[in-house]
Amino acid sequence: GAGVSQTPSNKVTEKGKYVELRCDPISGHTALYWYRQSLGQGPEFLIYFQGTGAADDSGLPNDRFFAVRPEGSVSTLKIQRTERGDSAVYLCASSPTSLDTQYFGPGTRLTVL
């Protein structure tokens, strides 16, 4: 079956702009996670959704970052007033429940000029 997909694959934007990154989880997976992977580092947790609600957003670095999952499937990570330090690969993962193995998408590489 189809895996986790993320769009766009790459996004280049200018400092101060607004961006949206999309994640399509595996059908039927209720748990969805966003991670950020900076160059040379392992992924770092940003936010976790159980269904439509953000159950844990403790990893969001500041209030410029926001994510939604209005219908319990597709999720969008939104970054306002982008900064050069936001440049990273943003990974999405889903799992049937939060107890199960997480399956990752290919990520979106965000470059802020």
Partner 1 sequence: AQTVTQSQPEMSVQEAETVTLSCTYDTSESDYYLFWYKQPPSRQMILVIRQEAYKQQNATENRFSVNFQKAAKSFSLKISDSQLGDAAMYFCAYRSSMNYGGSQGNLIFGKGTKLSVKP
Q: Which residues bind partner 1 (CB under 8 A)?
A: 31, 33, 35, 40-45, 48, 50, 55-56, 59, 89, 91, 93, 95, 98-99, 101-107, 109
CB 16 → partner 1: shortest distance, Å? Answer: 26
Collapsing DSSP to helix, strand or coil, 32 comes out as strand
HSE of 88 in the Cβ direction (CA atoms, 13 Å)? 19
Please identify, using beta-carbon distances, which residue of 42 and 70 lies nearer to partner 1. 42
> What are the angstrom distances between the C-alpha of 110 and each of 31, 42, 59, 88?
24, 16, 18, 5
CB 91 → partner 1: shortest distance, Å? Answer: 7
Please identify, using beta-carbon distances, which residue of 1 and 42 lies nearer to partner 1. 42
Please identify, using beta-carbon distances, which residue of 25 and 107 lies nearer to partner 1. 107
Residues 80, 64: contact at Cβ < 8 Å? yes
CB 35 → partner 1: shortest distance, Å? Answer: 8
> What are the angstrom distances between the C-alpha of 17 and each of 11, 31, 68, 79, 83?
12, 29, 19, 8, 8
CB 84 → partner 1: shortest distance, Å? Answer: 21
